[in-house]
Amino acid sequence: MSDTPTAAARASAGPTDWVSGERVFAPPAGTLDPDWLVPAVLEAVPGATPGQAQTAVVAAWQATRAAEPVPGGTPLERAAAGAVAEAVRAFGA
């Protein structure tokens, strides 16, 4: 077995590259695991804590599911909204 990264691993864009990391398969349609999106939020807002990022992702997800305006007044809220929107586009969450 080779330790050389695959082409997909070499081309990884980081936490928003949904084939990177330990969770290779998407959640079932209509569901979202907020912890899965926390790294993408932390990459966008390095000063945030994992707890803050998770709270922002949950708020963005709840607003998205309720068809309400997604919070976006702070960089953290905008990063969470973007991560949730990308998950919805990519996986039909």
Q: What is the pLDDT of residue 4?
A: 44
Q: What is the pLDDT of residue 76?
A: 98
Rounded to whole angstroms, how far apart are CA atoms 84 and 80? 6
Of 60, 65, 62, 66, residue with least CA distance to 81: 60
Of 1, 90, 6, residue with least CA distance to 40: 90
- Sorted by where each begins, the domain ranges of the chain are 27-91
Q: How far is CA 65 from the centre of its chain?
A: 16
Q: What is the pLDDT of residue 59?
A: 96
Q: What is the pLDDT of residues 12-61, one digit of tens each?
A: 455 555 445 555 555 556 678 889 899 999 999 999 999 999 999 999 99
Q: What is the pLDDT of residue 58?
A: 95
85 pLDDT more than 60: yes
Structure tokens at 19: 């084939």
Contact 41, 56 (CB under 8 A): yes
